[in-house]
Amino acid sequence: MNIHEYQAKALLRSYGAPVSNGHVVTRAEEAKTIAGEIDGPLWVVKAQIHAGGRGKGHFVEPEAGEKGGVRLAKSIGEAAEEAKKMLGRTLVTHQTGPVGKQVGRVYIENGSGIARELYLAMLIDRQSSRIAFVCSTEGGMDIEEVAAKTPDRILSFTIDPVTGYQPYHGRRIAFALGLEGKQIKQCSTLIGQLYKLFLDKDCEMIEINPLVVTDAGDLKCLDAKMAFDSNALYRHDDILALRDETEEDPKELAASKYDLNYIALDGEIGCMVNGAGLAMATMDIIKLYGAEPANFLDVGGGATREKVTEAFKIITSDPNVKGILVNIFGGIMRCDVIAEGVVAAVKEVGLKVPLVVRLEGTNVEKGKAILNGSGLDVIAADDLSDAAEKIVKAVKG
Ligand code: GDP
Ligand code: MN
């Protein structure tokens, strides 16, 4: 789960990490009052969306003005005006895709004078199963670009979970970042705070880009992105409360409410499958026959008719879906339950695209009988490759 920059900064602040003072604005009429609570002489007005690259992004609506999603203002009035221009408008960045994201919250912060922009991040290194730090002198840029062009400017190392954070880790980063004097101690303290936060809250990723050296020579976290392990949220009510559902794919959100393992993808063939392995194989074989899956969906072993109905409705609600492939190997899952779910969903929302069904296993004859008796226009398939071939043919002609 991701959170907004202003929420991440509040967390950082609560661990003692250096961040500017700021307040979030959600309603245009509050912009002036809220801007007035922040000290000048410089204000930064920042669109809050779960995507990076806001500074270099652009708004779809001309009313938002020419500038991107991070704007500097020299007065309270100007800060309030910039906030109003961004609220409710659509920001496009290289991470949002061409459709962009609607800005429902704007953060107004006390602006910093910047001497240097640096990069600092933490994540889980899958190879070693440890927490890793990544830092670079090239802040404010995409780390992917730095890694491609000047990999020697990135330092990365992992922390041994037995010893945990040690001050020398912080000093190692400080020297790699070219910090000096009091900044070295500040860096070491910050790294310790980040490590504690990461562990305490079951983070997946923390990215501070940029971490800056201010005009006064102090370290400050100017931007903050945080992601949390969804499987650990049950023990972090405070983090779960930060969830912004408007930032999530509505289909994935609906799926999570019904406990379905669903991930939206860009292709044209919707898939309903039981078992993660079979779901992956189904996606692979769709690709093999020259089309792209519109989603990953594992309805699970113990799915009820209601759950199957919801899953089918989520698939049909996707306008990219030009055909649906139901691929079920009934073990614990019974084929008749799947068939009932599909029929119930189609009765509710209709079916405007071709549907190929491959059923095998427990109660397969019962399942087929339900589909045949429903009057639905179902294309039956015998096995996995037959099913993939038929749905791709039905969609692509
Ligand atoms: P992003 O574009 O979504 O990554 O948003 P950031 O928060 O990283 O801001 C983008 C850029 O805006 C930064 O790299 C800075 O150059 C600039 N910026 C952000 N906050 C301040 C500030 O307080 N003062 C100044 N002078 N520039 C800022
Ligand atoms: Mn940034």
Does the beta carbon of 54 lie inside 6 Å of ligand 1?
yes
Q: How far is the CA of 280 from the centre of ligand 1 (A)?
A: 40
For the stretch 13-49, pLDDT in tens is 999 999 999 999 999 999 999 999 999 899 999 999 9
Atom 8 in ligand 1: which residue has the minimum CA distance? 223
For the stretch 216-240, pLDDT in tens is 999 999 999 999 999 999 999 999 9
- Which domain-ending residue is among 62, 91, 110? 110
Q: Is residue 9 part of a domain?
A: no
Q: Is residue 54 part of a domain?
A: yes
207 is an active site residue: yes
**Does residue 301 register a pLDDT over 80?**
no
As a whole number, mean pLDDT of residues 67-72 equals 97
Q: Is residue 11 part of a domain?
A: no
Give me the pLDDT at residue 167, please: 94
Give me the pLDDT at residue 85, please: 97
> Which residue of the set 119, 165, 258, 262 is catalytic?
119
For residues 75 and 190, state if they share a domain.
no
For the stretch 257-299, pLDDT in tens is 888 989 999 999 999 998 899 999 999 999 999 999 999 999 8
Give me the pLDDT at residue 300, please: 83
Give me the pLDDT at residue 256, please: 86
Q: Where residue 85 sits, what CATH number does that domain have?
A: 3.30.1490.20
Q: At 382, is the pLDDT very low, low, confident or very high (cuts 50, 70, 90)?
A: confident
Q: Which ligand is nearest to the CA of 117?
A: 1
**Does residue 65 register a pLDDT over 90?**
yes
- Which domain-ending residue is among 240, 269, 285? 240
* Cα separation, 247 vs 51, whole angstroms: 9
**Does residue 358 register a pLDDT over 90?**
yes
- Which domain-ending residue is among 207, 240, 273? 240
For residues 87 and 143, state if they share a domain.
no
Atom 9 in ligand 1: which residue has the minimum CA distance? 55
Domain count within the chain: 3
> Which residue of the set 5, 82, 138, 207 is catalytic?
207
In this structure, what token pair is assigned to residue 98? 């061409």
**Does residue 353 register a pLDDT over 90?**
yes
For residues 128 and 220, state if they share a domain.
yes
Q: Which residues are annotated as a binding site for Mg(2+)?
A: 209, 223
Range of the structural domain that residue 333 is part of: 250-396
**Does residue 366 register a pLDDT over 90?**
yes
195 is an active site residue: no
Give me the pLDDT at residue 349, please: 85
Give me the pLDDT at residue 348, please: 87
Q: Which residues are annotated as a binding site for ATP?
A: 46, 53-55, 109, 112, 117
Q: How far is the CA of 208 from the centre of ligand 2 (A)?
A: 7
The per-type count for the chain, helices as H runs and strands as E runs, is 13, 19
Listed in order, strand segments (DSSP E) in the chain are 22-25, 43-47, 58-59, 70-73, 90-92, 101-102, 106-110, 114-125, 130-136, 154-158, 203-214, 219-221, 225-228, 261-264, 269-273, 295-298, 323-330, 355-361, 378-380
Average pLDDT taken over every residue of the chain:
94
**Does residue 131 register a pLDDT over 80?**
yes
Does the beta carbon of 223 lie inside 6 Å of ligand 1?
yes
For residues 164 and 264, state if they share a domain.
no
Q: Is residue 7 part of a domain?
A: no
Q: How far is the CA of 210 from the centre of ligand 1 (A)?
A: 7
For residues 262 and 286, state if they share a domain.
yes
For residues 301 and 221, state if they share a domain.
no
**Does residue 171 register a pLDDT over 90?**
yes
For residues 57 and 94, state if they share a domain.
yes
For residues 227 and 285, state if they share a domain.
no
For residues 287 and 339, state if they share a domain.
yes
